[in-house]
Amino acid sequence: MHLKRILSIGIVSTLLSACSATGTQFAGFTPPAEGQSKIYVYRPSAFKGSGVHYDVHANNQLIGHIRNGGYISKELMPGDYEIWAKTEARRSVQVPLRPNETQCVKASVGFGAFVGRPKLEWVSMEKCETEIRNTVQSAK
C-alpha cells in the first residue's frame, strides 16, 4: 500500500514537471535594438494551472508559447499592442510600447469551466525584475 502511494506521487510529479518550461535561466533584460521596443511575458511557477500552457500574441503576431515557470521575449515595432492568449476563453491586456523601451506582462492561469483560462497583467519593471528572475526560457 505504501509503495503504491509513493509511485502515484512520483508519477503525478513527473507529469506536472513535464508541463513546465525547460529552457535557459533568465539572466537579465536585453535592450531592444535602436528605435525598437521589447516585451517580456513571464509566468511564475505555480501549482494552480501548472499543466496549462498557451500561445501568446501581440495583436495578430505570435510571440511565443508560455509554460509554467517560463518567460518569452520579443522585439516589436513601437506602438500600442493587445497582448492576448486563449485556451477556452480569450484574455488580453493593452500595452503601449515606445521606442527603446521594455515592458513586462505577467501571465498566470485562472479557473475555467473545462481548462484553466489565461490571465495577463501589465506590470511595472520593478515587479517584473523581482519575479522574472526565477523563470526559464519557454519553448514549444
Domain count, the chain: 1
Nine-digit cell string for 90: 480569450
Closest CA to 42 of 71, 15, 63, 66: 71
pLDDT tens column, 43-79 = 999 887 778 899 999 999 999 999 999 999 999 999 9
Average pLDDT estimate for 96-111: 95
Total length of the chain: 140
Of all helices (H) and strands (E), which one includes residue 14?
A: helix 2-17
Report the predicted TM-score, pTM, of the whole model to 2 decimal places. 0.81
pLDDT tens column, 106-140 = 999 987 767 788 999 999 999 999 999 999 998 76
Domain housing 69: 2-137
The pLDDT score that the predictor gives to residue 11 is: 37
Quickly tell me which residue has 473545462 as its cell.
114
pLDDT tens column, 11-37 = 344 334 444 455 789 999 999 999 999
Q: Is the pLDDT of residue 6 over 50?
A: no
